Copies of this chain bind each other. A is one copy, B any other.
Amino acid sequence: MTKNCNFIEKLRGAGLRPTKQRINMCEVLFNREKTFHFTINDLVKMISEKMNQKISLATVYNTVHAFEKKGYLKEISIDSHKSYFDTNTSSHHHFFDEDTNELIDCDESDIDKINIRKNITGKKINSVEVLVRVASDNQNQK
């Protein structure tokens, strides 16, 4: 897909200076075949593993939030203690595996289009997201 990526252009296009930290983060986040879900902690680990450069935690937060604002990342909140970011920024739904804490993308065919009958005066719909929580099917009661 995005091979030998020109992340410099991507960053410039968003009005973000292509610093080496941001380019490195782009490599880690976007230079791959498939989109994925991560926590800030995951990302800090991935960056320190994949790069030999040190990076400040504040920069990771800053950059993730900048990317989120520019629409390069989406936040998926599971509960107050579990929040993920998604490099798949298209509108899509999720399964959440409560055993493994894993977020799984749905594709179009997995869930029928949501039909919303209610409308709130003066308000437009910005997004419609379904979260399906799943867990092991062992018939151990509770």
Contact = CB atoms under 8 A, between A and B. Distances in A.
Interface of A: 75, 77-80, 83, 95, 97-99, 104, 106, 109-112, 114-118, 120, 122-137
Contact of A136 (B78, B112, B123): B123
A127 B132 contact: yes
Main secondary structure on A side of the interface with B = strand
21 contacts: A77-B78, A80-B80, A99-B123, A106-B118, A110-B117, A111-B116, A112-B114, A112-B115, A114-B130, A123-B135, A124-B134, A125-B132, A125-B133, A125-B134, A126-B133, A126-B135, A127-B131, A128-B130, A128-B131, A129-B130, A129-B133
B114 A118 contact: no
Contact of A95 (B99, B110, B120, B130): B120
A92 to B, nearest CB: 12
What is the count of identical protomers in the complex? 2
Nearest to A95: B120
Given A110-B116, A123-B136, A127-B133, 11 more contacts: A80-B83, A106-B118, A122-B137, A124-B135, A124-B136, A126-B133, A126-B135, A128-B130, A128-B132, A129-B133, A131-B131
